[in-house]
Structure 1
Amino acid sequence: MSIVSALSGFVWSVADTLRGPYSESEYGSVILPFTVLRRLECVMDPHREVMAEIVAQYEGEQQRRTHLKLKTRTAENPGLSFWTTSDYTLTKALQDPDNLAENLIDYVGGFSANLDVFKSFDFENIIGTLDNRDRLSQVTRHFEGIDLSPHAVSNADMGDLFENLIYRFAESANEGAGQFYTPRDVVRLLVDLLYADDADALRGRGTVRSIYDPTVGTGGMLSVADEHLRSFSPDASTALFGQEINKRTYAICKADLLITGQDPSNVRQGDTLVVDRFEDRKFDYVLSNPPFGTDWKAVESQVKAEHARGGQGRFAPGLPAVGDAAMLFLLHVASKMRDVDETGRGGKAGIVLNGSPLFNGGAGSGPSEIRGHMLENDLVEAIVALPNDMFYNTGIATYLWILSNAKPAERKDTVQLIDATKLGTKLRKSIGSKRMEIPDARRDAIVRAFTGTPREDDVEVPVKTFHKRDFAYWTVTVERPLQLRFQCTPEAISAVAEQKTLAKVDGLAEALEAFGDEVYLNREKFDKELGRHLGDHGVRLTPAQRKKLWQTIGVHDETADYCRIQSGKNKGELDPNPDLRDTENVPFGWGEHPKTHGAFQDTVQAYFDAEVKPHVADAWIDWEKTKTGYEIPFTRHFYEYVPPRSLDEIDAELERVVGEILGLLREVEG
């Protein structure tokens, strides 16, 4: 059992104390803030005397923060940037059991202004409720006995513990348990892919990098990214930034960053899709695991307003369906990569998405336009397909999108598709829906496949490289001429009488009955003679009604004359039959034509002449209806044909199954 699992179990065991006065769904609201408080206490413990001296000597928050950080800084620790003016600890508060609630409130209230996280937990009310339900002393004593010092629990392990507790909390409350919890093997792969091309630069002294997560949760992805960057360069300086919508996870993330010496103002609360709390900033690295399958109905008006701002808004390229916000997060992440500087260094981003952003929406749709924006601007560097069952709350197919606005020269205008679906190994014990993980050796092999530096002992990683416009196509509308036969049969007249618009015309049905049942194969002739006949019977039709009449009576007949447009700018041209209308998707570069937008007409015409015209001689292209689309058919590119079983093999299996059934029947009869 890992240290995090063991520690999480011990922390969560306080639930036995809460059982009865509290429902399962309430456990987390007590356990999470007490865990944060105990962690802060353990971090402060070696520095209590220095902290008291600084607080006594300086009054201003900024002065205290500066001097405290300097006094507590070590080679391994960036120093404390928070404190408490209270003399209480959990142990000291427990020494006065009659006033325990007041003591704890005094303790929490004494923290520096930058540590306002307990307001997000509504901790004072939690303390009062525990006291009223006669559980405060037991819970406090439980947490007093847990060693959460940095020596016992590293920052990375602490991040895992927080996420593990949130997973348990959400699971007990029947909420989306996995939405706050990104598995560490996934995070490490994502981080490794982002750092892969920058490894040498990251090893240099004085390295400074900013890392941002717009769906930061408890900060787990930031912690892993920071820890990994420091493994390249212990002297590296990082600035971590995050935005989070959930109050509890926001509070945990803020406390966690404070403990690691980061600026707590770099974690901000709010819905990323509604307002970007870092609108004036861009970052070296962006990481995100947005919630799967969530809609954006609640923020529809704000998102559409930003889209309408044109080039000024994050969502200018297009909008996905309201039922799935994944591509909005994709656009946001892409917009937060730092601009390319004079040295050629830009920003990189990695985001976890389900399969729908690869292919949903046809040409001209919002999702297709978003893919087009990403591909045409050469922002997509690689897409990695993960094994199924990698996440705690879903077993669906998931993908890592790796973005860059400053690709290496050899990867310009290309996209790598990496199939890692078969590189997972089974967990000994599943956690929720997570049954698979990617072990370290295979993760390294995936990264080397991405950089093009595989080793002989690496497991095979399928990789295919495409030009960015290999995913572009034109959807072309193919028309065929309208050919109609007209005959005023009883069935046709009955259809006219039931047609909503025509049923209102007095005398029409009677006039049609008197017209006779002669067959017409020419629409103009039928229209002319019928019009004269209706006039003789005093029936007057508007142009719209006349059109509806022949549409109702006419039936398709390939022996009939072609119908021609009777008015407007296209008068005299063939009238298309909407029932025979079809579309063809013509890929960029078809027939060795250039993969450019300018080659549109030549490519489409050549495709039409080769693939359509030989089969439908009278068809033509409606050029005005052509749309450009983008789709990334990942699974198609890695499809492996599995031949069907032989008839002998199928017969043998049928014979075996029939034998088993007969055996069971004999047992029943016996």
Structure 2
Amino acid sequence: MSRLSAFVWSVADTLRGPYSEAEYGSVILPFTVLRRLECVMKPHREVMADIVSSYPGEQQRRTHLKLKTRTEDSSGLSFWTTSDYSLKKALQDPDNLAENLIDYVGGFSANLDVFKSFDFENVLRTLDARNRLAQVVRHFEGIDLSPDAVSNADMGDLFENLIYRFAESANEGAGQFYTPRDVVRLLVDLVYAEDTEALRDRGTVRSIYDPTVGTGGMLTVADEHLHELNPDASTALFGQEINPRTYAICKADLLIKGQDPSNVRQGDTLVVDRFEDRRFDYVLSNPPFGTDWKAVEQEVKGEHARGGQGRFAPGLPAVGDAAMLFLLHAASKMRDVDDTGRGGKVGIVLNGSPLFNGGAGSGPSEIRGHLLERDLVEAIVALPNDMFYNTGIATYLWILSNAKVAEHKGTVRLIDASKFGTKLRKSIGSKRLEITEQDRERVIRAFAGTQDEQSEQQVPVKTFSNRDFAYWTVTVERPLQLRFECIPETISAVTEHKTLGKITGLTEALESFGEERYLNREKFNRALGAHLGDLGVKLTPAQRKTLWQVIGVHDGKADYCRVQTGKQKGELEPDAALRDTENVPFGWGGHPKTHGAFQETVQDYFDAEVKPHVDDAWIDWTKQKTGYEIPFTRHFYEYVPPRPLEEIDADLERVVGEIMELLREVEA
């Protein structure tokens, strides 16, 4: 594959000069698509011409062409061209080469509109004007991209490899288009794992959807794997893609496979769901990592505000990271559970932040809570670092299901496969590791619970209750205790205050008040109030409050301040500076892991963990929030003891000796 990709890309030598590196892809990608289509059509051109001349309607042509071209390995062609041209024939008339190719591409059936997305007519005329068209056409005419030479899966690899090169040369984020095949195969195996037997049944029909479809790589692998399990299975592939070039490639690829091209649609998934009225058996996705959603903020927030009817009703992540929006979208596209108990499944690639970002009550926490409380999270698999082409960060596969088997209901499996990658002989961008077939089988066995307990190559797996990731955040208050003194430091703070400093006579009144220390706020206010009244300095209630707040300093020996008015009169007043929060896990101290156990669980936690250390603290029961966090790394942390002190001392002595030796050489 790398040799074929290099050969296809070598046409860049022809383009060098009239084209910049950033423009190579705009020529190479559409010509690769055209040559692939031509090689697929070649054995059927006579049949195609006969059907085109015999039937005027698009639907009639499509039906008869599929029937006439169907084989054991193919469901038949559903596209054609009314043109007699091929790349070879067009080259025979070099003076009219551009017009011949425009005629060729323009003759394709209406369902093959992908060359509009490439603006291919303009590409051809520009090549012709720059005197490079004939050389490029000859190059591609000499490449065998027939299905016998290049399978559909290999063709998908080729497309994505070319896109990777194109994005790399243009200094773009290549990885947003290109999901490594080893990652895709693992994701597909995980999604199919518990459905394997059902997928072998006769008459199996499954729908597979990718909301960030790219060139269709995930759909291709999922489709081929399903047919490995059951050659007679029927699949319907669906995808949505924002990028016009990758959309065009995906649509052409599905046409070649005999899929309905209308099932691939262009558009931003976060703005509009092009399949709003559909749900699917399987949803697969590798959304872009760390991209913001500022450009679609208005639309996303509008859908969030619609409540239960919107995909994003459960919560919104920070505007800087759209990953959890795609997670919510994928979860919303699972088919409903039917009478047989079969529902939908999701496999999605995410970075680490959706596991833990955002505290209790935040959008990300609410999204996690939405998924966990509805028992949709089946498993999360940690991948090795350095698995992707444009990033070396930690990545995770989330597997969702709305129809878990009985033994997995109410639970989540965390699987740590981070140490099961195999080093590549040569890095590709940031990708230094791959998941081999052997690695993949180990992870699947861990997921299925069929690992050999005696094996040293076990993948670590831990099973948790959904509510093991839930907690309450409660506010702990401590009483306000203040000391008051009208000394130069506090008077200076009043003078510099933006409001108090403008009150006529206040500074002078404070200077004449004396430096007596008060440990009771009410006594201080009464004494200072009388003093200010004698001097004719009048303050509003708000100004009086601001004054004691500026002068008062925390002092643990001072009397407690109490609320002076309202329903809470006489109660202890909290000190905002000493306010703290405590996270109390559901089930703490053996209590039930239920929302109803909130008060008793939190009270017992407070009595055991807080009260012994700060006896005057209390819980503000009005500020409780429920949060959800999946601390994956913490659950698989392995303690590594420090080296013995003797070993460290020996290293230090050796290094000091080396330094001293170097200094002696310098002095000499």
Which bracket does the TM-score occupy, shorter chain normalised?
over 0.9
Q: 2:492 is paired with a residue of what secondary structure?
A: helix
Match of residue 591, structure 1, among 585, 589, 592: 589
Q: Is the 8 A contact 1:385 1:400 kept in 2?
A: yes
Gaps of 5+ in 1: none
Moved more, 94-103 or 497-506: 497-506
Selected match of 1:356 from 348, 353, 357: 353
Aligned pair 1:35/2:29, yes or no?
Answer: no
Shift of the alpha carbon at 1:508? 1.1
- Letter of the 2:129 partner, please give it: N
Match of 1:540 in 2: 538
Deviation at residue 659 of structure 1 after TM alignment: 3.4
CA contact (8 A) 2:451 2:458 kept: no
Partners of 1:16 and 1:597 in 2: CA distance: 66
SS in 2 for 1:331: helix
Structure 2 equivalent of residue 403 of structure 1: 400
2:564 aligned partner? 566
1:467 is matched with which residue: 465, 468, 475? 465
Quote the offset at 1:505 in angstroms: 1.5
2:249 paired with 1:262: no
Among 258, 274, 279, the residue aligned to 2:276: 279
- Structure-1 residue corresponding to 2:103: 106
Partner SS, residue 515 of structure 1: coil
Deviation at 1:454, TM superposition (A): 1.5
2:22 corresponds to which letter in structure 1?
S
Task: Select which of 42, 45, 50 maps to 2:47.
Answer: 50
Which residue number in structure 1 is paired with residue 179 of structure 2? 182
Secondary structure at the counterpart of residue 393 of structure 1: coil
Give matches, 1:55-204, under 5 Å: 55-204=52-201
Report the secondary structure of 1:64's partner residue: helix
What letter corresponds to residue 390 of structure 1 in structure 2?
A: M
Give a deviation string over 1:343-374, Cα, whole Å, max 9, x none.
11110001100000011111111111111111
**Aligned residues of 1:215 and 1:244 also touching (Cα < 8 A):** yes
Q: How is 1:330-345 mapped onto 2 (pairs within 5 angstroms)? A: 330-345=327-342
Worse overlay, 116-125 or 556-565? 556-565
Q: Which residue of 2 aligns with 1:320?
A: 317
- From 540, 553, 556, the equivalent of 2:554 is 556
Shift of 1:663: 4.4
Provide, for residues 170-204 of structure 1, a one-character-per-residue CA deviation record: whole Å limited to 9, x for no partner: 00001011111101110000000000000000011
Q: Are the counterparts in 1 of residues 292 and 319 from structure 2 also a CA contact under 8 Å?
A: yes
**Aligned residue pairs, count:** 667
CA distance in 2, matches of 1:529, 1:551: 16
User: 1:614: which partner in 2?
Assistant: 612
Residues 197-217 of structure 1: per-residue CA shift (max 9 Å, x gap): 000000111100000000000
- Amino acid corresponding to residue 659 of structure 2 in structure 1: I
Moved more, 457-466 or 412-421: 457-466
What is the match of residue 250 of structure 1?
247
CA distance in 1, matches of 2:260, 2:387: 32
Separation in 1 of the partners of 2:43 and 2:321?
49
Q: Deviations over 1:208-248 (max 9, x none)?
A: 00000000000000000000010100000000000000000
Which amino acid is 1:96 matched to?
Answer: D
Measure the CA separation in 1 of the matches of 2:622 and 2:51.
74
Residue identity in the other structure for 1:131:
D
Q: Aligned with 1:211: secondary structure? A: strand
Alpha-carbon deviation of 1:655? 2.4
Aligned residues of 1:484 and 1:560 also touching (Cα < 8 A): yes
For residue 547 of structure 1, what is the amino acid of its counterpart? K
Shift of 1:660: 3.3
Counterpart residue number, 2:633? 635
Tell me by how many angstroms 1:662 deviates.
Answer: 4.1
Residues 513 and 458 (structure 1), Cα distance of their counterparts in 2 relative to 1, 3 Å cut: closer
Structure 1 residue 659 and structure 2 residue 631: aligned? no
Deviation at 1:431? 0.3
Q: Which amino acid aligns with 1:454?
A: Q
Aligned residue identity for 1:478: V
Instruction: Write the letter of the residue equivalent to 1:473.
Output: Y
Q: Distance in 2 between matches of 1:668 and 1:121?
A: 66
SS in 2 for 1:178: helix
Distance 2:245 2:291 in 1: 20
Q: CA separation in 2, counterparts of 1:420 and 1:86?
A: 53
Structure 1 SS opposite 2:498 = coil
Could you tell me how far 1:569 is from its partner in structure 2?
2.2
Q: CA deviation at 1:459?
A: 2.1
Alignment map for 1:509-524 (pairs within 5 Å): 509-524=507-522
Contact 2:283 2:334 in 1 (8 A): yes
Separation (CA, whole Å) in 1 of partners of 2:655 and 2:323 = 47
- 1: CA distance between counterparts of 2:168 and 2:3? 18
Report the residue type matching 1:397 in the other structure: A
Output the CA distance in 1 between the equivalents of 2:539 and 2:81.
88
Deviations 1:96-141 (A, max 9, x none): 0000000000000000000000000000000000000000000000
CA distance in 1, matches of 2:455, 2:621: 54
- Secondary structure of 1:212's aligned partner: strand
What is aligned with 1:505?
503
Asked if 1 retains the 8 angstrom alpha-carbon contact of 2:375 and 2:402, the reply is yes
Q: After superposition, where does 1:383-532 map in structure 2 within 5 Å? A: 383-455=380-452, 459-532=457-530
Give the fraction of aligned pairs with identical amino acids, expressed as a percent.
84
The DSSP-based 3-state class of the residue aligned with 2:174 is coil
Whether the 8 Å CA contact 1:442–1:458 is kept in 2: the answer is no
CA root-mean-square deviation: 1.0
CA positional deviation for 1:657: 2.3
Cα deviation for residue 666 of structure 1 reads 5.3
Deviation at 1:669, TM superposition (A): 5.8
Residue 664 of structure 1 deviates from its aligned partner by 4.2
* Correspondence for 2:208 among 201, 208, 211: 211
SS at match of 1:436: strand
- Render the CA deviation track for 1:392-440: whole Å, top value 9, x for unaligned: 0000000000000111110011001000010011000000000001111
Distance in 1, matches of 2:386 and 2:662, equals 37
**Deviation of the 1:568 alpha carbon:** 2.2
Q: Does the CA contact (< 8 Å) of 1:84 and 1:111 recur in 2?
A: yes
SS at match of 2:512: helix
Which residue is equivalent to 1:624?
A: 622
Report the CA distance between 1:516 and its aligned residue.
1.6
Moved more, 537-546 or 190-199: 537-546
Once the two structures are superposed, residues 452-491 of structure 1 have per-residue CA deviations (whole angstroms, 9 ceiling, x without a partner) of 1113557210000000011110111100000111111121
Distance 1:457 1:608, change over 3 A: closer
Contact 2:282–2:346 (CA under 8 A) maintained in structure 1: yes
Q: Deviations over 1:30-64 (max 9, x none)?
A: 00000000000000000001000110000111110
Structure 1 CA distance for aligned equivalents of residues 482 and 654 of structure 2: 59
Question: Separation in 2 of the partners of 1:143 and 1:451?
Answer: 46
1:377 aligned partner: 374
Paired with 2:202 and 2:663, the residues of 1 have a C-alpha distance of 79
Contact 1:445–1:458 at 8 Å: present in 2 too? no
Q: Residue 301 of structure 1 aligns with which residue?
A: 298
**Cα shift at 1:492:** 1.1
The one-character-per-residue Cα deviations of 1:252-297 (angstroms, maximum 9, x if unpaired) are 0000000000000000000001111000001000000001110001
Cα distance in 1, alignment partners of residues 456 and 253 from structure 2? 37
> Structure 2 regions of 5+ residues with no counterpart?
none
Indicate conservation of the 8 Å contact 2:334/2:346, yes or no.
yes
Amino acid of the structure 2 residue aligned with 1:486:
F
Residues 567-598 of structure 1: CA deviation (Å, up to 9, x unaligned)? 22211110001111111110000000000000
Q: Which shifted more, 454-463 or 206-215?
A: 454-463
Q: Is the 8 A contact 1:442 1:459 kept in 2?
A: no
| CA distance in structure 1 between the partners assigned to 2:171 and 2:666 by the alignment | 45
Q: Distance in 2 between matches of 1:542 and 1:325?
A: 49
* Distance in 2 between residues matched to 1:316 and 1:538, nearest whole Å: 58
CA distance in 1, matches of 2:412, 2:192: 17
- Equivalence for 2:238: 241
